[in-house]
Amino acid sequence: MSVILVTGGTGLVGTAIKHIIETEPEGSRFGKRPGEKWVFIGSSEADLRNQEQSKKLFEKYKPTHVIHLAALVGGLFINMKKKLDFLRDNILINDNVLHNAHELGCKKVISCLSTCVYPDKVDYPLDETKIHLGLPHESNFGYAHAKRLVDVQNHAYKDQFGDNFTSAIPTNVFGPHDNFDLESAHVLPALMHKCYLAKKNGTPFVVWGSGKPLRQFIYSRDLAKLFIWMLREYDDVEPLILSVGEDEEVSIKQAADAVVKAMGFTGEYRFDTTKADGQFRKPASNKKLLSLIGDFEFTPFDKALEETVQWFQQNYENARIGKPR
């Protein structure tokens, strides 16, 4: 009997993994396997910053495998405001999860980094060998250093005890069940929420910054399949980038145009260049992933965006929208 514990199981990526495990045919490449018990937990079950609660959680479920997604997560603007919280909360969460997984003798842990951990000034494209080659972008150094430390912890557990702890490095993620709260959201859910409100209230749709920065966006349900594949088939301590190709980079303006189209918005649409642009680009190579997984079909960006906009419009009342506007 394998017990797979998914921390952060109530968030954007966690609910996507739950969706795939519950909808893909049992025994299929990304489906549940016979004899597997999947457990999805959120912070209401245990605050993973707390040692005692973390220990109790692992004793309760006795996981054999862990997909560790739990984290303090947010977009550019909340990262810029709360660098210490993003550093300290994530260090505490990660240390408690890895320590308890080690103590329990878990067969495997996959933690989740992010392409924003990479050095701001490094030769592009970003690949798995460049994580520690310089300082991260100033806007999110708290989160970035806490996430980099996971790679250091994995290597230390492997080196001293032989633990099979590894990590995934996704680019910007989007999809159903995302955080749409304008105070802390990432760019795509923020633009969807703002465009929805502009359409509803007849007000301008305002995109922050110049619209020039470039990003790679992966659909949460594609990322979910890649995590399930890693659980089954990737046993290397070295982190692995989980991303669409480098040629899929889009500008924030192109992303905003796609949101306007998906929302059917026809009102005033402008940019507030007094707001920060953040890191200009962080182009990641998925060559290593494709060399290992072989054929993998990513959902086209526009189709994934339309599905997410539909989900948001249908679930607005129950979505994570922060204070009503």
**Contact partner at residue 85 from ligand NAP, ligand GFB, none, CB < 5 to 8 Å by partner kind:** none
- Contact segment (CB under 6 A) with ligand GFB among 2-10, 17-25, 138-146, 296-304 equals 138-146
**Contact partner at residue 43 from ligand NAP, ligand GFB, none, CB < 5 to 8 Å by partner kind:** ligand NAP
- Taking the alpha carbons at both ends of the chain, their separation in whole angstroms is 47
Torsion 106-89-325-192 (CA) sign = negative
Q: How far is the CB of 114 from ligand GFB (least distance, A)?
A: 4
Per rule CB under 6 A, is residue 75 in the interface with ligand GFB?
A: yes
Kindly tell me which of 15 and 139 has the beta carbon lying closer to ligand GFB. 139
The Cα–Cα gap between 222 and 298 comes to 6
Identify the DSSP state of 139.
G
**Contact partner at residue 215 from ligand GFB, ligand NAP, none, CB < 5 to 8 Å by partner kind:** ligand GFB
Q: How many CB atoms lie within 10 A of CB 76?
A: 23
- Contact segment (CB under 6 A) with ligand GFB among 49-57, 119-127, 149-157, 272-280 equals 272-280
Do residues 33 and 94 lie in contact, with contact meaning Cβ atoms separated by under 8 Å? no
Structure tokens, 115: 């392409």
Q: Which of residues 225-244 bind ligand GFB (CB under 6 A)?
A: none
Active site residue 269: no
**Contact partner at residue 164 from ligand GFB, ligand NAP, none, CB < 5 to 8 Å by partner kind:** none
Burial of 323 (0-12, 13-18, 19+ CB in 10 A): exposed
Per rule CB under 6 A, is residue 8 in the interface with ligand GFB?
A: no
Per rule CB under 6 A, is residue 69 in the interface with ligand GFB?
A: no
- # binding residues, ligand GFB (CB under 6 A): 27
Kindly tell me which of 106 and 218 has the beta carbon lying closer to ligand GFB. 218
Those residues with Cβ within 8 angstroms of residue 79's Cβ, 6 or more apart along the chain or in another chain: 86, 139, 140, 142, 143
Do residues 223 and 286 lie in contact, with contact meaning Cβ atoms separated by under 8 Å? no
* Antiparallel, parallel or unpaired: β 214-215 and 250-251: antiparallel
Contact positions vs ligand NAP (CB under 6 A): 8-14, 42-44, 47-49, 69-73, 93, 112, 114, 170, 172-173, 179, 186
Distances (CA, A) of 179 to 32, 191, 308: 27, 12, 12
Give the active site residue among 61, 143, 196, 234.
143
Binding interface with ligand GFB (CB under 6 A): 75-77, 79, 114, 116, 139-140, 143, 172, 185-187, 190-191, 194, 207-209, 213, 215, 252, 275-279
| Residues acting as catalytic residues | 143
